[in-house]
Structure 1
Amino acid sequence: MTKKVLLIEIGTEELPSRLLSRTSLHFYNNFIKELNYFNIKYKNIEYFSTPRRLALKIIDLDTKDRFIDVKKRGPSIADAYNINNTPTEAAIRWAKNCGINVHEASHLKTKKGSWLFYHIRKKQENIELLIPKITESALKKISIEKTMRWDINNEKFSRPIRNIVILLDEKIISGKIFNIPSNNFLQNHISSTEKTIKIQNAKEYPSILFEKNNIIADYKVRKEIIIRKIKEKAKKINGFIKINTFLIEEVTALVESPIVFLATFKKKFLAIPKKILVYTIEKQQKCFPIYNSKKNILPYFIFISNINSKCSKKIIIGNEKVMHARLSDAEFFFKDDRKTKLKENLLSLKKVLFQKNLGSLYEKTLRLKLLIKWIAKYSCSNVEDSIRAALLSKCDLVTNVVCAFPELQGIIGMYYALEDQEKKDISIALKEQYLPSFSGDKLPCTPIGCSLSISDKIDTLSGMFYVGNIPSADKDPFALRRLAIGIIRIIIIKNIPLDLKDLVDKSLELHNKKNINYSIISDDIIKFFMARVFNWYQETGYCIKIIKSVLSYKSTNLKDINEKIQAISYFQKTEISKSIILSIKRISNILEKENKKINGCINIKLIKEAEEIILFNQLKKFHNDTKDLFIEKKYKEILLKMTDFDIPIYNFFNKVKIYHSNYEIRLNRLILLQKLKDIFFKIINFSYLY
């Protein structure tokens, strides 16, 4: 029998919870690539992960001997032999590289000629020798941001590797991975007195882990069990759970034998603002708040333990004590903050440094005030309300709650502003100023929120460039790429007619206290932005050729760029677009052959042929029909009107002799073609679409 089950388990110290799922998936994908590279067949691969293990179970692995065909084509026969039929230097070098003499090579004949050819069928390395190499390679190719080194071997991985299991059915595959020899002893639960679990056959995995110590190795199964059990617990008190995907993923990665417990906290803590309460329960304690039918929080929480203890009451009491301490802190900070209004914190920002060379948070706030006043006219937000939002934007950063829980910045500002009877849009903008905070994050909903977010991000980005903190290819410590993408997304998706060049220059003016020429810095920032624009459109799924065709015109008006990309993408899907683009290509090729630039006016008296008269009239009609469309920047309509040129251009090329013997007629026809090219290229550079 050649088809067997292969088990590989990598026992580690506790892996980072936020990286467990991704690390496991990378291991799985890398292993598949390695198997494909060596042409090793299999039916299916299952992958598993817990805090202290990564595992693969390969079903019906084909273990029979495999052969690989090595084929190498050498020099042509004409180049392989001299006049006297002796091998040339090129032929000798090729044969030596193949490990043969020239006369041992065969000949390959094709329609294009004959070549020296080497073909040998080799037996591939035994699969039992390959498996440890494949496994180590798959592990080393996992992309890990921060690695650890351990032992004298100085190996690198996310966490130290302590145990290796490689079983092919019941046979232990001997080998070393990260210099650790393989065996058939699985890592047991961290709380178990017996440190290992002996496994006799790969087929027993993962059921043997559950049978011995309730270890659920399958990440997806473990996750589903946790979700089901927390819902059941909440239902017992007539409550429900709001599924927080990030929290579920984190908890699933923290335990391998999940036990769900219900605990309580004092009702007085329900007076704490909902966001602070949820943040404390979820973010700080990794627990689940419970809601009633009115979506109000109940004085209960659910936590997941990794240990099934006989003294479950002690575990619950211990978690309740910790939760009480955390909520007491939050309650104290909140009450202390509310002794003063949010706006009264503005002058305190003078004592908080924003950046060494860019001043305090108070100075940043004054820059935001000026920026948002200018941006408001483009975003259609109320100017006075926008200025008010800018002045309040950083006031929550000196509150007790934000100092204790930094992730609540903006959220606390919104809550405190609402309690101070600030306008709703102003209050919401304080929260929205930090959106989007990561790739794919939601955008601000309010016009003031959009204006404040752009102001905050461009102030930081331009300031960092101004003082020389520019991102490199592999380092971006101030997350300026994320800030740039945030600005780009807001402007494009919210359809704000804001020119990037104007925005950058306006922001740089506020940093430039020395009154120096900042044009070079401005150009660098624009290049940085446009690289992000290109990447964003590419990741969004737009054709690279279309993106390049639009960006080649160096426009910095993102609204205009977006409308062009949308229009060209639509136009390219129409049936007639290929014909139009081929016509543009033909016109461009004809004009490029001329040694001089074609310019001047069309001489109507020299237009003789019916086909060129029709084309000329179509040109005039297009100018008249699209004059207002160009002003209104309705590019889709303009491109659709370009299709009216298809038949006239075809007939012109088919019936009219461009290179007429009369130089004036010839030049006049070339000018007509140049006028055509000019109107086609008025929107984008079509040469990228040929």
Structure 2
Amino acid sequence: MTKKTFLVEIGTEELPAKKLKNISLIFYKNFINELKKNNISYKKINYFSTPRRLALQIIEINTSEKTKKIIKKGPAIKNAFDENGNPTIAAQNWAKNYKVNLNQTQRLKNQKGEWLIHYAEKKQKKIELLLPIITEVALKNINVNSNMRWEGENIKFIRPIRNIVMLLDNIILKEAIIFHLRCNNILQSHISSKEEKIYITDAKEYPSILFKKSKIIAHHENRKEQIKYEINKIAKKVNGAIKKDSLLLEEVTSLVESPKVLLANLKKDYTDKIPQEIIGYIIKKQQKCFPIYSINEEKNILPYFIFITNIHSQNNKNIILGNEKVMHARLSDAIFFLKKDRKSKLKDYLKCLKNISFYKGLGTLYQKTLRLVFIVKKIFFYTKEINEINLIRATLLSKCDLVTEMVSEFPELQGTIGMYYALENKEKKEVAIAIKEQYLPSFSTDKLPSTPIGSVLSIADKIDTISGMFSIGEIPGPEKDPFGLKRATLGVIRIIIIKKIPINLKRIIEISLEKHNVEKSNISVIFEKIKNFFIKRLIFFYENQKYNINIVQSVLAYESMDLLDIDEKIKAISNFKKIESIILIVKRISNFLKDKHEKMISTKINERLLIQIEERKLLEIINDFNYTTKQLFIEKKYTEILLKTKLLIKPINTFFKKVQINHEDIEIQKNRVILLIKLRKIFLQITNFSYLY
């Protein structure tokens, strides 16, 4: 067995930073799949990525020649031989075509029939020919919805490919052509490097040769750890600290391939005049830099920032000055917009919302605000511990910052700007915080609103958008969700369940549809669509938490919109240790009732017809159970209910053992069936157990 090291580097134009890590990982996984398909073994695969390259290094790849078995399928047996057992012309022609002796053939038999077959061995292509094919397939199967065409070529990739390196140990695969490019041994150098070409003579030299020649750190994780170490070290030198921001660190790592970490200054004038959160946003989100926070007061930003450059220069001073100039220009813009906005109070912007369309067919932002006021009042009915005046005030001011200069320039700060302006206008603190928190959560793992008012406003805002979009037919498909309705729905679910807000979600959605002027005759139709949409999101919500999907579906089978009830049931059933015994007894009851004509049977027990002690005892236990669990069902205490349900198992088993249900007296038989119907009703109050057996 011959083992070698294989290297492939795809040199590209600048790849999208936010997708780079994922692109690299998909390339790596695709390549593994193709190696497996071709039965090629290896010891290990290292994968690398920088803004201008994707690379794989396969250690100890098996390059020895291989053969693979191929099945040559012939005619069906019934067509291969005549009634005397002699080969037909079809069988003879097949054997001749594949140069097969009919006496050496085998038979393949399955449910569909029986055929003649012959196993032939075929030599696999040489590894030097296979690897380019595998590479091209692995690249073409990277689908990130942002592919490009370039230079008139009818080929697509995330960004134009400019160079391809392929080495098998020290052998250059010169004959290999991928995306119309002939492979070579010249690595892409750093974009600003004077040394334009880096020759690699052996696959084992990668990636060390890149660092040696151009200070390029090809390994993404190594590059990230280097940046992380340097920014923390620099922050400590100025008695500061860097707040953890995994997304920013990942993005910056994907923007540079030869990182140089530098410290720059912020003018104190900016840190004094601009709210800290806004400064942090501009530094991180706008400029992709790292603010430095005070060790003693974590919210305070020190008059410094750290940036990562992709250039190694003899004169860092000019690079620092250039970055400071750009940063100060952005902060100066912020001060200008803040001054302009502060000429009016936040409440004064409410009337301006009349001129801003929310969405075609859904009115203006002013009309949306009025709808939100109506909805939060209805939600307030279920959450009366909230101050209603503050709730309505927060709702009225909730969209006012959308017409400010600051939000126009920095859209991601919507809500945050409103909070700061509300505080400056001496609004109540919980009102101001709710204005910011109305947009939470903005993605599936985002934090939830911290205040009751923020939670209610967030629910109302999301329900108004969901019901509005459904009312005009803008319903998300399996892959497309341009208005983020899946995120909004999941946000409503998370807030209600985690914050335990006991609202009548069905009624709130119907009210919202009414406020969108949906005709009464259509409300139920649209509500059904929204309900089904919510149920799909609920399944996703519980699947992500690793709940048993059968348990989830058993509870959701009733298509209830009482999210707290759903949650309590799923958790109780999932955590109940001996649920199997209950499942078995429910299955037994259901199987017996399956063939009974229940609609013809009265639901009232005739106690005079209970002639055996076991059936009288069972009725007594059923009545006792219904009495003792009535309040437990109201309080949604399903664990306690399940514990009490276990007390039914023994008398039910005794009933089945000792009592003949199909009695010769039809009235006695009906009476006993009614007992089973009553039992099934008890279990159906908990969940649809048919999903669990």
Q: TM-score, normalised by structure 1?
A: 0.93
Distance 1:656 1:355 in 2: 66
Change (3 A) 1:550 1:277: same
Change (3 A) 1:107 1:355: closer
What's the CA shift for 1:226? 0.8
Change (3 A) 1:603 1:257: same
Aligned 8 A contact 1:500 1:526 in 2: no
Change (3 A) 1:347 1:8: same
Greater alpha carbon shift after TM alignment, 532-541 vs 9-18: 532-541
Aligned 8 A contact 2:72 2:120 in 1: no
Aligned 8 A contact 1:591 1:598 in 2: no
Aligned to 2:359: 355
Which of 537, 544, 566 is the equivalent residue of 1:539? 544
Amino acid at match of 2:332: S
Aligned 8 A contact 1:144 1:157 in 2: no
What's the CA shift for 1:103? 5.2
Aligned to 1:435: 440
Amino acid at match of 1:635: Y
Change (3 A) 1:292 1:628: closer
Aligned to 2:647: 644
Change (3 A) 1:366 1:108: closer
What's the CA shift for 1:81? 6.1
Aligned 8 A contact 1:598 1:671 in 2: no
Distance 1:542 1:88 in 2: 59
Change (3 A) 1:583 1:324: same
Aligned 8 A contact 2:601 2:670 in 1: no
Unaligned runs of 5+ in 1: none
Across the aligned residues of Structure 1 and Structure 2, the Cα RMSD in angstroms comes to 2.8
Change (3 A) 1:202 1:515: same
Query: Does 2:337 match 1:333?
Result: yes
Aligned to 1:219: 220
Aligned to 1:323: 327
Aligned to 2:238: 237
Distance 1:80 1:385 in 2: 86
Query: Does 2:593 match 1:591?
Result: yes
Distance 1:677 1:79 in 2: 57
Which of 596, 613, 624 is the equivalent residue of 1:621? 624
Distance 2:522 2:229 in 1: 63
Greater alpha carbon shift after TM alignment, 620-629 vs 268-277: 620-629
Aligned 8 A contact 2:5 2:203 in 1: yes
Q: Percent of counterpart pairs with the same letter?
A: 56
Aligned to 1:266: 267
Aligned to 1:33: 33
What's the CA shift for 1:324? 1.7
What's the CA shift for 1:510? 1.2
Greater alpha carbon shift after TM alignment, 362-371 vs 470-479: 470-479
Q: TM-score, normalised by structure 2?
A: 0.93
Aligned to 1:675: 678
Aligned to 2:288: 286
Aligned to 1:457: 462
Amino acid at match of 1:314: N
Distance 1:150 1:448 in 2: 52
Query: Does 2:388 match 1:388?
Result: no
Query: Does 2:229 match 1:228?
Result: yes
Change (3 A) 1:595 1:66: farther
Aligned 8 A contact 2:378 2:508 in 1: no
Change (3 A) 1:683 1:193: same
What's the CA shift for 1:442? 0.8
Amino acid at match of 2:563: L
Aligned to 1:313: 317
Q: What pairs up with 1:455-534 in 2 under 5 angstroms?
A: 455-512=460-517, 517-534=522-539
Change (3 A) 1:344 1:223: same
Distance 2:647 2:122 in 1: 62
Amino acid at match of 2:442: S
Aligned 8 A contact 1:598 1:670 in 2: no
Amino acid at match of 1:193: K
Aligned 8 A contact 1:381 1:451 in 2: no
Aligned to 1:633: 636
How many residues were matched structurally? 685
Distance 1:108 1:184 in 2: 49
What's the CA shift for 1:650? 2.6
Distance 1:131 1:231 in 2: 42
Change (3 A) 1:176 1:597: farther
What's the CA shift for 1:637? 1.6
Query: Does 2:449 match 1:444?
Result: yes
Aligned to 1:420: 425
Aligned to 1:61: 61
What's the CA shift for 1:349? 1.5
Change (3 A) 1:48 1:376: same
Q: Deviations over 1:367-423 (max 9, x none)?
A: 111111111222342211110000110111122211111111111111111122211
Secondary structure of 1:157's aligned partner: coil
Change (3 A) 1:593 1:231: same
Secondary structure of 1:469's aligned partner: coil
What's the CA shift for 1:689? 0.9
Secondary structure of 1:645's aligned partner: helix
Amino acid at match of 1:293: I
Amino acid at match of 1:230: I
Change (3 A) 1:256 1:339: same
Aligned to 1:664: 667
What's the CA shift for 1:86? 5.4
Amino acid at match of 1:487: V
What's the CA shift for 1:188? 0.7
Which of 277, 281, 295 is the equivalent residue of 1:275? 277
Amino acid at match of 1:350: K
Greater alpha carbon shift after TM alignment, 96-105 vs 8-17: 96-105
Aligned 8 A contact 2:362 2:468 in 1: yes
Distance 1:494 1:72 in 2: 64
Aligned to 2:7: 7
Aligned to 1:370: 374
Aligned 8 A contact 2:353 2:400 in 1: yes
Distance 1:540 1:402 in 2: 36
Change (3 A) 1:647 1:83: farther
Aligned to 2:51: 51
